[in-house]
Amino acid sequence: MRTDLYDYDLPSGRIAQYPAKVRRKCRMMVLNRQDQSIVHARFEDLPQFLERGDLLALNNTKVIPARLLGRKEDTGGRVEVFLLRHVGGRTWEALVRPAARCRPGTIARIGEQGALRVAIGDDAGPGKRVVKLICHGPVNAALERHGHTPLPPYISRPDVKSDARDYQTVFARKPGAVASPTAGLHFDRVMLDRLQRAGIRRTEITLHVGEGSFRPIRTDTVEAHNLEREYFAVPRPSIRCLAAARRAGKRIVAVGTTVARALETVAAWNSSPVEGWGNASSASSRTSGETNLFITEPFDFRVVDALVTNFHLPRSSLLVLVSAFAGREFVRAAYAEAVKKNYRFYSYGDCMLMR
C-alpha cells in the first residue's frame, strides 16, 4: 500500500494550538460505517450515539514532563533532552539535541539550580541515546519540578503552565507516557457523570504512548514502516468487563487508537473469542507486555466495535489505523469535509466517533 494514499492537504490554521475552553464542548464528527453517512455534533452529544450497556475503554496512562531543557555543565551550551522510554532505575532512552555536541560523558544541568542533572551516554538506536537522571530524592518529583510538558511539534509555541493540566486526561493515573492519548482529552468530570447516568459503562487499560506513535511514515510503502514497542496492560477486571459486554451484545468503544491497539493485541495473543475472556481457563495470561502492532488495511477487528479518535497527521500510522477501521475512501472524504467545515485538527483539536 503506497504511503501517499494517506496524504491530505491541511491549512496550518486548522491545527489547534490550544484546547477548547470546555473539553466536552469540542466538535465531533460521527461516521456511520454501515451507510457511509456523516453527522456533525458536539462531544457532549456522545451519549445519544451510544446505548445503555455499551462499554467505553479508556487509556489511563499519565504523561510525564519528559522534555528537559538545560545547559552543558562544562561549556554552558544549551541542551534539550526528550525522554522516550524508561529502561530501568534512573536510566532512559532519549532524544538529545544537539546530538553531535553531546558526546558520551556529557553532563547536562536542568533548571536554574541544576538540582536535576542528566548524564548522556552511548547510542541506543537511530537518533537515540542512553541517559541517566541524577538527583536527590525521587526522580518523578524532580521531573515534576524541572521538566516541561512534551507538546507535539505541530503546536508551534512553548508550553505554558496550563498545558500540564490540559495535555492530561482527567482519568490519567499511571505515569509513563511521553505523549497524550488525545482522544481522552475531550472527557471531563461532567461528561463522565453524564455517561454513567445514561448507563454507559467504562473500564480502563494502560498504554504508555511513545513518541513513535506520532512519527510520520517515511517509507514509500506502509508495510515497510515499523512501529516502536510500547508497554501496555489490560488488567483482569477490564478483561471481565470486555467479556461481559460482548456476551450482552453491547458495543466495545475504544477511546483512542492506543486503546484499539492494546485490545487488538490481546485478541491476537488469544485463541478464544472476547466473550470467553472472563474465564480464567480460557483467557490468555498474556494481557500485558509490549506491543508494536501496526494495524493496516485490511484488518479484522476482533474487539473494537466503535472508536473515538482525533483527526490525525497525514502519512501517520494513526491515520492508517482509522482508515482500516472505517475504510480509506470514507475517511478521506470525512477529512475533506472536516477541512471544509473548519474542524480543529490534531492533539488539541476536535474528534470523531466511528461506529
Asked, for residue 186, whether it belongs to a domain, the answer is yes
Within-domain flag for 153: no
Please list the helix, strand and coil fractions of the chain in percent, rounded to the nearest 5, in that order.
30, 30, 40
Output the pLDDT for position 334.
Answer: 98
d(CA 46, CA 23) in angstroms, rounded, equals 13
Rounded to the nearest integer, the mean pLDDT of the chain is 95
258 shares its domain with 348:
yes
User: Do residues 62 and 178 touch, judged by C-beta distance below 8 A?
Assistant: no
Measure the CA–CA gap between 345 and 355, rounded to whole angstroms.
Answer: 20
**Lowest mean pLDDT across 107-116, 131-140, 151-160, 334-343:** 107-116
Residues 45 and 184 in one domain: yes
- Assigned domain for 161 exists: no
Tens of pLDDT along 145-170? Answer: 999 999 999 999 999 999 999 999 99
Strands, E, within the chain: which ranges? 27-32, 37-42, 55-59, 61-63, 67-72, 78-88, 91-97, 107-110, 116-123, 129-134, 174-177, 201-207, 230-233, 252-255, 288-291, 306-310, 351-354
Residue range 237-288, pLDDT digits in tens: 999 999 999 999 999 999 999 999 999 999 999 888 899 887 755 445 689 9
- Give, as one character, the DSSP assignment of residue 22: S
262 three-state secondary structure = helix
Res. 115: pLDDT tops 90: no
47 pLDDT more than 90? yes
pLDDT band at residue 213 using 50, 70 and 90 as cut-offs = confident
Residue 80, domain CATH: 2.40.10.240
Whether residue 97 is found in the same domain as residue 174: no
Same domain (yes/no): 53, 142: no
**pLDDT at 212 (0 to 100):** 83
Shared domain check, 134 and 277: no
- Strands 351-354 and 306-310, sheet pairing: antiparallel
> Residue 160: inside a domain, yes or no?
no
Span 325-333, mean pLDDT?
98
Res 127 pLDDT > 90: no
| 193 shares a domain with 138 | no
125 falls in which pLDDT band (50, 70, 90)?
A: confident
Q: Residues 277-326: pLDDT tens digits?
A: 877 554 456 899 999 999 999 999 999 999 999 999 999 999 999 999 99
Grid look-up 503546536 returns 155
- Which residue among 84, 115, 146 closes a domain? 146
Residue 288 sits in a domain of what CATH number?
3.40.1780.10
How many residues are listed for the chain in this entry?
355
Which tens digit of pLDDT belongs to each residue from 171-186? 999 999 999 999 999 9
Examine the domain organization and report whether 177 and 82 are in the same domain.
no
Q: Which of 146, 181, 197 is the last residue of a domain?
A: 146
Answer yes or no: is 97 within a domain: yes
Q: Are residues 231 and 340 in the same domain?
A: yes
Cell numbers found for residue 317: 500510522
pLDDT for 285: 65
What 3-state class would DSSP assign to 86?
Answer: strand
What count of other Cβ atoms lies within 10 Å of the Cβ of residue 352? 25
Query: For residue 280, what pLDDT is reported?
Result: 54
Range of 106's domain?
67-146
Q: What is the pLDDT of residue 40?
A: 98
Based on the domain organization, do 129 and 198 belong to the same domain?
A: no
> For the residues 110-129, what does the mean pLDDT come to?
89
Question: Same domain, yes or no, for 10 and 74?
Answer: no
Give the count of domains, the chain. Answer: 2
Q: Tell me: the pLDDT tens digits for 21-43? A: 999 999 999 999 999 999 999 99
155 to 96, 111, 163, 244, 350: CA distances (angstroms): 20, 23, 11, 40, 15
Residue 151 lies in a domain: no
Percent of the chain with pLDDT over 70: 98
Whole-number pLDDT of residue 229? 93
Does a structural domain hold residue 154? Answer: no
Q: Is residue 152 part of a domain?
A: no
Q: Facing residues of 338 across strands?
A: none
177 and 290 housed in the same domain: yes
Identify whether residues 224 and 349 lie together within a single domain: yes
